[in-house]
Amino acid sequence: MRVHVLLFDAGTESEGIHSLEIAGRTVVLLFENPDDAERYAGLLEAQDFPVPTVEALDREDVDLFCREAGYEARLIESGFVPSNDEERLFMAPPQSNRDVSNWQDDAGSDDAMAGQQAVEPVRQGLETESESNPELDELRRRLEGLL
């Protein structure tokens, strides 16, 4: 079965997979539907996160990678409806992101993963808030209104 994951700097040495940190666990989202993955990537971009690439991969390969790295793979099926606060993070990223402006520097070890988001309150974005883009601000307000 093919699943869709969000990768940063796909195909480079500093490639990283998007993940969430939830209660001390690192969770990698595996989207069954590519449109769901694209929508999630768009929500990340609206939060001034680096733009990820949606990549279709074999589920067994991703599951093996996650097991070896000590991560939890979570399949987001088509038509998924969250039933609690944790599952809501699988549909829309948290409001607060871990600062990832230097995530490539942190990826020095093979098991270091980039693009992680933290659930605990952390300053959002890439420290470029002083450079406000009205178009992105409006898109962000509209997307937040949907939540």
Q: What's the pTM value of the predicted model, to 2 decimals?
A: 0.63
- Which pLDDT belongs to residue 67? 95
Whether 71 and 20 have beta carbons less than 8 Å apart is answered as no
Q: For the chain, give every domain's residue range.
A: 2-146
Give CA–CA dist 9/32, Å, rounded: 22
Give CA–CA dist 34/48, Å, rounded: 21
Among the listed residues 35, 41, 44, 45, the one whose alpha carbon sits nearest the alpha carbon of residue 53: 41
Give CA–CA dist 110/143, Å, rounded: 35
Is beta strand 25-31 parallel, antiparallel or unpaired with respect to 19-22? Answer: antiparallel
Query: Which residues in the chain come in under a pLDDT of 70?
Result: 94-133, 135-136, 140, 143-147
- Which pLDDT belongs to residue 89? 76
> Tokens at residue 50, please?
């680096």
Give CA–CA dist 44/51, Å, rounded: 7
